[in-house]
Amino acid sequence: MDQATVRLRHVPLRGPSTYADVGACGRSLKHGLLRFHDAITAAPTRALCLQFFSRLTQFDVDADVLAFDWNGRQYMTAVLEGSSEPVVLLADINTGTVSRLCTLDRFEAVISSGAIEDFFEGDLFASWRAAACMPQATLSFTECVAYETPFWCGGDDSIASLRLVSVESHWTKWVQVLHEMVEAEDPTARSGVPSYNL
């Protein structure tokens, strides 16, 4: 493994080390459909996830980011009550929900199969790329195609509502918006956002 790969290595607190071991950290699959966090992106992204989903540490204090997709959704690993094995969580700022997605074995099977489009909504990503006249475009490692306004703030679930943005700026903006809503006692902040389907 070269020095750059070692420097970028990120193993989530709950594992797995699989992707770091094969040098996947900091790399993209399928034009940016899925990317694995590296040592540069992992810590700030984990902090943003835990700021938005502030109760997540009540379920597992060591929940940590593993990967993220084209839509800015974060894939985290955690060990939840009743299980000794890590599971994969989906932290979705667009819906304001963190949910148990699948077992780690299932996630790894999807990745190793190479047929990841269905699992990560590749059709919607391809539709946006076509609508944006960029059918062959590859996202940079720090970009995502996120909803301009999340659904929990009244955003529209349409391709026209998707915008090319920085993953960090998108999460930072909506973490701040939620914080301001809580401070102002906005009803939206009391109506199940964020929600935990664990």
Cβ neighbourhood burial of 90 (10 Å; 0-12, 13-18, 19+): middle
* pLDDT tens by residue, the chain, 198 residues: 555 556 689 999 999 999 999 999 999 999 999 999 999 999 999 999 999 999 999 999 999 999 999 999 999 999 999 888 999 999 999 999 999 999 999 999 999 997 899 999 999 999 999 999 888 889 999 999 999 999 998 899 999 999 999 999 999 999 999 989 888 877 666 566 799 999
Is 25:2 a contact under the CB 8 Å cutoff? no
Report the sign of the C-alpha dihedral through residues 41, 162, 97, 111, in that order: negative
The whole-model pTM stands at 0.94
13 - beta bridge partners?
A: none
What's 91's DSSP letter? E
Strand order across the beta sheet in which 97-103 lies: 28-29, 34-36, 64-69, 74-78, 87-92, 97-103, 195-197
Distance, in Å, from the CA atom of 158 to the CA atom of 135, rounded to the nearest integer, reads 18
Instruction: Please give the single-letter amino acid code of residue 182.
Output: V
Which residues, in sequence order, are CB contacts of 55 under 8 Å at separation 6+? Answer: 194, 196
pLDDT of residue 134: 85
